[in-house]
């Protein structure tokens, strides 16, 4: 269907790839993988004709249609969601318009002309039916609803949608088009888990050819029949899903290492013989023969696959927080003005985060996962209740569109320095280097960075603002799989508290020890990782949701006083006692990843933590009340000391001697 021969491309003297040879065959599902910057998106643009290659040719078979979903789409305005999606049915709609025209012609035709029109109409009607023309509106709604749109929102103007939702509209239009070859560039980036699972099921029955760029290992494993790895040396295709690809890469690397070792040993033996007998008359002929063998081996020397640069970091040891790091009590959150159109997301919400918890928020689209994360982060207003950070809690919030908060006018170094108030420029440069911004890269404008580079910069800023509570909304968007693996390992070893939202199922399995299902304004905690959560749901083994404030045994308790502001503890050194994680592209070959706890160990620990949490709740409530009382007394003591230090106070001797309400008199 599509044939690439000798294709190469570079920018500004840097070669992305060269001598790419690739045959994309019918009915295959190919995952295109490689590190950020390898040129995967560029290769898609070359296939579609948007870019011309520097070398080589691209041939597409006649009458083959190619559909392309880019990482970013042009903003859509002035048309409804339904109208834009229906554009994907243009071929079907064109046939429908032709049928309508034929009906008009048949109304006035007679005799032989009418017979010809009726024959043409019959063939065209059969084609229209085969293309699903009579179910056009059903198909539009099916795909849009599968991608997370509510039926009552299909006639909204696309201009009202965020960039992520506009991307879903573009994806729906492409799926309705049903091209022979579908090129998808990170299609899962803007989807929640429910929509991702729907898309995976839809694509599994897709009759055309699929080529997709994705960092989602579960997505690739569920769909791919082949994996194509792109690097500076070209493109290599492996048969099987992503896990099979990783095994084959490891086997290939091990084989090359053995061959290179044997070859090096042979070369050393030949060199020793030549050096020893080269000038000895009786051995000169043999030495010359060995020298020829040595020259031939040097010319055919086994070369190991070049290792790609990957991010390399460890999260800093966080400052120790109190046992309870964050509490939401009796929180009410709604959108829109009060009245019949107000959308209440939470009413009477009570949740508590404890030190060291690693939690994933899951639930259907629109359930309030991102809203809950924002409430925990304190970045969104609420209409009632209290948010109380625990003692010494330091929160870092990584928004889903964190890259949008970057200043596009700054350089990479300037943006990182703006996030760091205490670190020297040399230290900031070392952190940027760990995220692959080295040399002249730190002088690039943020506006010219790719999506993956912007995400890496946002993660680097996280290291420059050490925290003991990380609230992460889709942190793996735009990261390649090697970078995701490093982030997985870093979060797995992190001793602080983590709450995250992600559509990457493998990432959640590796990181979290508890899943909070968010639905209908309630939170239901499940011990274990995401796979454990799915298993329990499949068995119908569902725990009770956390009680709302009106249902909780603490109803009627006085609302907690506002937390006292405390001085932030000094930023810890990013250097930690544990070894940093190093992952190489391709199954972590040559990497150094320490063993992490098994799923069973994590599940048992989470269950024990839940039991301890329930058993110690009265004590924790009493402790919190005592801490707040101590805080009030400390504030009074500070005020008294300030009054005693004021000379004007002693100008009123009667007041000092007698004391006033609210003052503390000396005993006796």
345 has a pLDDT exceeding 60 = yes
- Higher-confidence residue: 389 or 465? 389
- Segment of 255-264, 396-405, 537-546 carrying the highest mean pLDDT: 537-546
Residue 654 pLDDT grade (very low, low, confident, very high; cuts 50, 70, 90)? low
User: CB of 67 within 8 A of CB of 85?
Assistant: no
Residues 328-341 have pLDDT tens digits of 999 999 988 887 87
291 has a pLDDT exceeding 60 = yes
Of the candidates 153, 158, 231, 223, which has an alpha carbon nearest to the alpha carbon of residue 187?
223
If you ran DSSP here, which 8-state letter would residue 590 be given? T
136 has a pLDDT exceeding 60 = yes
Residues 485-538 have pLDDT tens digits of 888 888 888 899 999 999 888 899 989 999 999 999 999 999 999 999 999 998
348 has a pLDDT exceeding 90 = yes
647 has a pLDDT exceeding 80 = no
pLDDT at residue 308, as a whole number: 58
58 has a pLDDT exceeding 90 = yes
pLDDT at residue 487, as a whole number: 85
pLDDT at residue 229, as a whole number: 92
CA 349 from chain centre, in angstroms, equals 27
Partners of 358 in the β-ladder: 498
Residue 658 pLDDT grade (very low, low, confident, very high; cuts 50, 70, 90)? low
CA dihedral 608→612→614→620, nearest 10 degrees, is -150
559 has a pLDDT exceeding 60 = no
| DSSP per-residue codes, 107-163 | HH--HHHHHHHHHHHHHHHHHHHHTTGGGHHHHHHHHHHHTT--GGGTTSBGGGS-H
CA 110 from chain centre, in angstroms, equals 64
pLDDT at residue 210, as a whole number: 95
Percent of the chain at pLDDT exceeding 70: 84
pLDDT at residue 225, as a whole number: 94
The lowest-confidence range among 97-106, 300-309, 478-487 is: 300-309
Structure tokens at 348: 């009477």
Question: Residue 137: enclosing H or E segment and its boundaries?
Answer: helix 136-146
> What mean pLDDT value characterizes the chain?
80
User: CB of 299 within 8 A of CB of 374?
Assistant: no
CA 485 from chain centre, in angstroms, equals 11
Distance of CA 385 to CAs 375, 552, 554, 574, 606, Å? 11, 14, 14, 36, 28
pLDDT at residue 645, as a whole number: 67
Partners of 15 in the β-ladder: 10
Residues 114-130 have pLDDT tens digits of 888 888 888 877 777 76
Residue 306 pLDDT grade (very low, low, confident, very high; cuts 50, 70, 90)? low
Percent of the chain at pLDDT exceeding 90: 24
604 has a pLDDT exceeding 90 = no
pLDDT at residue 310, as a whole number: 64
591 has a pLDDT exceeding 70 = no
Structure tokens at 232: 């500076």
570 has a pLDDT exceeding 80 = no
Mean pLDDT on 147-176:
85
If you ran DSSP here, which 8-state letter would residue 196 be given? H
In this structure, the chain runs to a length of: 668
| DSSP helix/strand/coil, 311 | coil
In degrees and rounded to multiples of 5, residue 202 shows phi and psi of: -65, -45
């Amino acid at each position: 269907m599509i044939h690439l021969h000798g294709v190469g491309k570079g920018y500004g003297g840097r070669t992305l790839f060269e001598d790419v040879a690739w045959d994309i065959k019918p009915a295959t599902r190919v995952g295109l993988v490689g590190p950020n910057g390898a040129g995967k998106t560029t290769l898609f643009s070359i296939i579609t004709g948007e870019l011309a290659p520097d070398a080589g040719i691209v041939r597409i078979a006649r009458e083959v249609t190619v559909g392309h979903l880019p990482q970013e789409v042009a903003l859509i305005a002035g048309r409804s969601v339904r109208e834009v999606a229906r554009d994907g049915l243009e071929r079907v709609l064109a046939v429908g318009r032709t049928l309508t025209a034929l009906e008009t012609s048949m109304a006035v035709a007679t005799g032989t002309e009418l017979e010809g029109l009726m024959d043409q109409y019959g063939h065209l009607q059969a084609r229209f039916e085969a293309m699903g023309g009579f179910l056009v509106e059903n198909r539009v709604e099916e795909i849009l609803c599968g991608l997370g749109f509510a039926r009552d929102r299909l006639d909204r103007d696309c201009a009202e949608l965020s960039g992520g939702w506009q991307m879903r509209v573009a994806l729906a239009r492409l799926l309705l088009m049903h091209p022979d070859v579908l090129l998808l560039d990170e299609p899962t980036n803007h989807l929640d888990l429910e929509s991702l699972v729907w898309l995976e099921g839809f694509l599994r029955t897709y009759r055309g050819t699929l080529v997709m760029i994705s960092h989602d290992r579960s997505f690739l494993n569920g769909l791919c029949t082949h994996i194509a790895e792109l690097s500076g040396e070209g493109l290599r295709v492996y048969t099987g899903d992503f896990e099979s690809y990783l095994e084959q890469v490891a086997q290939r690397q091990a084989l090359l290492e053995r061959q290179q070792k044997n070859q090096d040993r042979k070369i050393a033996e030949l060199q020793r013989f030549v050096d020893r007998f080269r000038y000895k008359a009786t051995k000169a002929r043999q030495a010359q023969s060995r020298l020829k063998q040595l020259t031939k081996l040097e010319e055919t020397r086994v070369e190991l696959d070049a290792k790609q640069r990957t991010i390399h970091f460890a999260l800093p040891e966080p400052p120790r927080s109190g046992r309870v790091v964050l509490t939401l009590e009796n929180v009410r959150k709604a959108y829109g003005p009060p009245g019949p159109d107000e959308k209440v997301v939470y009413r009477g919400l009570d949740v508590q985060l404890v030190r060291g918890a690693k939690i994933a928020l899951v639930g259907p689209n629109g359930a309030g996962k991102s809203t809950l994360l924002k409430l925990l982060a304190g970045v969104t207003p609420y209409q009632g209740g209290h948010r109380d950070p625990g003692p010494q809690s330091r929160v870092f919030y990584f928004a889903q569109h964190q890259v949008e908060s970057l200043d596009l006018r700054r350089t990479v170094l300037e943006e990182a320095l703006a996030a760091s108030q205490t670190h020297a420029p040399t230290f900031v440069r070392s952190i940027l280097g760990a995220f692959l911004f080295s040399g002249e890269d730190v002088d690039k404008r943020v506006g010219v960075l790719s999506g993956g580079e912007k995400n890496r910069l946002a993660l680097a800023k996280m290291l420059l603002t050490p925290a003991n509570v990380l609230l992460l909304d889709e942190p793996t968007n735009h990261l390649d799989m090697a970078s995701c693996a490093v982030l997985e390992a870093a979060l797995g070893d992190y001793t602080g508290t983590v709450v995250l939202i992600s559509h990457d199922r493998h990432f959640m399995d590796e990181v979290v020890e508890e899943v909070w299902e968010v639905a209908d304004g309630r939170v239901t905690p499940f011990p274990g990782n995401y796979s454990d959560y799915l298993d329990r749901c499949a068995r119908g083994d569902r725990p009770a949701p956390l009680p709302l404030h009106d249902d909780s045994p603490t109803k009627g308790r006085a609302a907690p006083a506002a937390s006292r502001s405390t001085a932030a503890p000094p930023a810890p050194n990013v250097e930690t006692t544990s070894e940093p994680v190093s992952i190489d592209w391709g199954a972590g070959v040559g990497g150094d990843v320490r063993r992490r706890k098994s799923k069973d160990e994590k599940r048992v620990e989470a269950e024990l933590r839940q039991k301890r949490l329930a058993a110690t709740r009265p004590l924790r409530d009493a402790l919190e009340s005592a801490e707040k009382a101590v805080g009030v007394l400390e504030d009074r003591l500070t005020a008294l000391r300030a009054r005693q230090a004021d000379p004007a106070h002693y100008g009123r001797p009667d007041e000092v001697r007698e004391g006033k309400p609210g003052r503390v008199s000396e005993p006796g």
